[in-house]
């Protein structure tokens, strides 16, 4: 039976698994119909040439298993900080790396690239937002196949884009706003002070009023170890955090989320992937205590 949700997880991409081919196989193993990859280690800028990633075999395997490539996501490197207005060399590095990443993602054929908006490094918020806008305007080329989804952030340190108004400010000032949207992260939203636990309807209505629901490109579905508004960013497994299973299920089941790719980024438990059990219980709509060791 075909799933009524676009539900998947972060999967690996590495040489032993034939890169992109292994990513599809890992997703199929946990019965995901969407997934997210990094094109290389998120903490550095080393990347395998796209010619070695088995792109044709990857696309064929997706077709054979009825996974729509248009529902897949790539997450950009953590090393990019386009909001950095203090160090020109760091900003230019980010522009160069994001430009190359967009080209890689386009070659793979995935249409959505999630990007952390970055850190202000302590300068006024509008200065950091303006710097991010400058960077996005440098990398976006009219006619490109890839759209950028800026991720909602928890607010730890000097993170920007913790409020929907930040995204509105950015999108309204872009040369080509049609190429930029938002990726919800439920842990981050909770930690930033949005009531994912008690009133997701209000949260998404607020987003629609401020930014526009058409700008929601992806969702990271994660529980949080922290109370609402903690501004800490510590992901928890589904049903083992402060948001809770029922509230996260409501996110997945929300009618405005139905056509948006939803991926899990929850912690592994004792070096074992939690994604298969978590996807199964979310599809069934019933919490199962798959990891009792987390109850302590």
Separation of alpha carbons 252 and 52, rounded Å: 35
265 is in an annotated binding site: yes
CA dihedral for 205, 207, 209, 212, sign (positive or negative): negative
Query: What are the residues whose beta carbons fall under 8 Å from the beta carbon of 278, sequence distance 6 or more?
Result: 9, 237, 238, 264, 266, 290
2 is in an annotated binding site: no
Separation of alpha carbons 250 and 57, rounded Å: 36
151 is in an annotated binding site: yes
233 is in an annotated binding site: yes
Work out the angle at residue 234's Cα, subtended by the Cα atoms of residues 233 and 240, and round it to the nearest 5 degrees. 135
Q: What counts of helices (H) and strands (E) characterise the chain?
A: 9, 10
Structure tokens at 287: 């919490």
Place of tokens 């890992």: 26
Quote the strand ranges of the chain, DSSP E.
7-10, 34-37, 73-75, 112-115, 147-151, 180-185, 216-221, 223-224, 235-236, 262-264
Write the CA distances from 8 to 127, 153, 154, 257, 274, integer angstroms. 36, 21, 22, 14, 12
Give the CA radius of gyration of the chain: 18
CB atoms near residue 214 (< 10 Å): 9
208 is in an annotated binding site: no
75 is in an annotated binding site: yes
Which residues belong to the annotated binding site? Answer: 75, 116, 151, 185, 188, 220, 233, 235, 265
Which residues belong to the annotated binding site for Zn(2+)? Answer: 75, 116, 151, 185, 188, 220, 233, 235, 265
């Amino acid at each position: 039976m075909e799933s009524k949700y676009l539900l998947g997880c972060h999967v690996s991409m590495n040489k032993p698994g034939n890169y992109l081919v292994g990513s599809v196989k890992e997703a199929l193993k946990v019965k995901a119909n969407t997934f997210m990859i990094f094109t290389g280690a998120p903490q550095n800028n080393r990347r395998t040439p796209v010619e070695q990633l088995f792109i044709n075999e990857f696309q064929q395997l997706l077709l054979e298993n009825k996974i729509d490539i248009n529902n897949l996501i790539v997450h950009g490197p953590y090393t990019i900080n386009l909001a950095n207005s203090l160090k020109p060399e760091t900003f230019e590095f980010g522009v160069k790396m994001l430009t190359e990443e967009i080209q890689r993602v386009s070659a793979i054929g995935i249409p959505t690239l999630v990007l952390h908006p970055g850190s202000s490094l302590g300068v006024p918020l509008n200065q950091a937002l303006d710097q991010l806008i400058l960077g996005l305007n440098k990398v976006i080329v009219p006619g490109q196949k890839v759209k950028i989804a800026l991720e909602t952030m928890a607010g730890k340190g000097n993170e920007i884009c913790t409020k929907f108004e930040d995204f509105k400010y950015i999108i309204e000032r872009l040369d080509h706003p049609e190429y930029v949207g938002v990726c919800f992260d439920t842990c981050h939203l909770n930690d930033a002070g949005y009531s994912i636990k008690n009133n997701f309807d209000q949260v998404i209505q607020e987003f629609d009023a401020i930014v526009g629901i058409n700008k929601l490109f992806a969702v990271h579905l994660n529980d949080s170890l922290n109370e609402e508004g903690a501004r800490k960013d510590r992901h928890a497994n589904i049903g083992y955090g402060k948001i809770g299973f029922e509230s996260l299920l409501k996110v997945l089941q929300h009618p405005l989320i139905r056509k948006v790719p939803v991926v899990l980024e929850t912690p592994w438990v004792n070096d074992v992937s939690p994604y298969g059990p978590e996807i199964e219980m979310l599809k069934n709509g019933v919490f199962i205590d798959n990891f009792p060791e987390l109850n302590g």
